[in-house]
Structure 1
Amino acid sequence: NSQSCQVRLLEVVAGVIVLVCKETMQHHGICLSMDGLVNLQLSSKSVGVFEAFYNSVKPIQLISSSIEVAKAGKIPGGKTEIPFEFPLHMKSNKVLYETYHGVFVNIQYTLRCDVKRSLLAKDLSRTCEFIVHSQPQKAKVVPTRVNFTITPDTLQSSRERSNLPKFLIQGHLDATNCVISQPLTGEVVVENSDVPIKSIELQLVRVETCGCAEGYARDATEIQNIQIAEGDVCHGLAIPIYMVFPRLFTCPTLETTNFKVEFEVNIVIVLHDDHLITENFPLKLCRV
Structure 2
Amino acid sequence: MAIQLDILLKRPNKIYHEGETICGIISIKTPTEIKHEGISLSIEGFVDLQISSQNVGTFDAFYNSVKPIQLMLFNLDIARPGRLPSGRTEISFEAPVKPLTNKVLYESYHGVFINVQYLLKALIQRNFLNKDVRKSLEFIVENRPRTDTIMTKVDKFVINQNTLANVNDCSNIPKFHIIGTIDSVICSILKPFKGELKIEHSDIPIKSIDVQLVRVETCGCAEGFSKDCTEIQNIQIAEGNVATGISIPIFMVFPRLFSCSTTKTANFKIEFEVNISIVFEDEHLVTENFPITIIR
2:176 is matched by which residue type in structure 1? Answer: F
Aligned match of 2:215: 206
Aligned match of 1:107: 116
Structure 1, unaligned runs of 5 or more: none
Larger deviation, residues 155-164 vs 206-215:
155-164
Matched, 1:49 2:58: yes
Cα distance in structure 2, aligned partners of 1:225 and 1:161: 26
Cα distance in structure 2, aligned partners of 1:20 and 1:214: 50
Cα distance in structure 2, aligned partners of 1:7 and 1:226: 27
Deviations 1:159-195 (A, max 9, x none): 3411122111111110110001111000111111110
**Pairing partner for 2:90 from 65, 75, 81:** 81
**Pairing partner for 2:253 from 244, 252, 255:** 244
The 8 Å contact of residues 30 and 70 in structure 1, kept in 2 or not, is answered as yes
Shift of 1:139: 4.2
Cα distance in structure 2, aligned partners of 1:8 and 1:98: 10
* Matched-pair identity in %: 51
Matched, 1:276 2:285: yes
The 8 Å contact of residues 114 and 126 in structure 1, kept in 2 or not, is answered as yes
Inter-CA distance 135–59: structure 2 relative to 1 (3 Å threshold): same
Larger deviation, residues 42-51 vs 251-260:
42-51
Aligned match of 2:102: 93
Q: Which runs of 4+ in 1 moved over 4 A?
A: none
Matches within 5 A, 1:224-263: 224-263=233-272
Deviations 1:225-262 (A, max 9, x none): 11111111111111110000001111100000010000
Matches within 5 A, 1:116-155: 116-137=125-146, 139-155=148-164
Cα distance in structure 2, aligned partners of 1:140 and 1:255: 22
Aligned match of 1:2: 6
Cα distance in structure 2, aligned partners of 1:158 and 1:269: 15
2:237 is matched by which residue type in structure 1? Answer: I
Question: What TM-score, normalized by structure 2, do the two folds share?
Answer: 0.92
Cα distance in structure 1, aligned partners of 2:25 and 2:62: 41
Larger deviation, residues 169-178 vs 20-29:
20-29
The 8 Å contact of residues 16 and 140 in structure 2, kept in 1 or not, is answered as no
Inter-CA distance 248–158: structure 2 relative to 1 (3 Å threshold): closer
What CA RMSD, in Å, does the superposition of the two structures yield over aligned residues?
1.5
Shift of 1:212: 2.3
The 8 Å contact of residues 56 and 211 in structure 1, kept in 2 or not, is answered as no
Question: What TM-score, normalized by structure 1, do the two folds share?
Answer: 0.95
The 8 Å contact of residues 159 and 178 in structure 2, kept in 1 or not, is answered as yes
**Pairing partner for 2:30 from 17, 21, 36:** 21
Aligned length: 287
2:257 is matched by which residue type in structure 1? Answer: L
1:193 is matched by which residue type in structure 2? Answer: S
Deviations 1:1-54 (A, max 9, x none): 111234555321221111111222221111001111101011122213245513
The 8 Å contact of residues 12 and 85 in structure 1, kept in 2 or not, is answered as yes
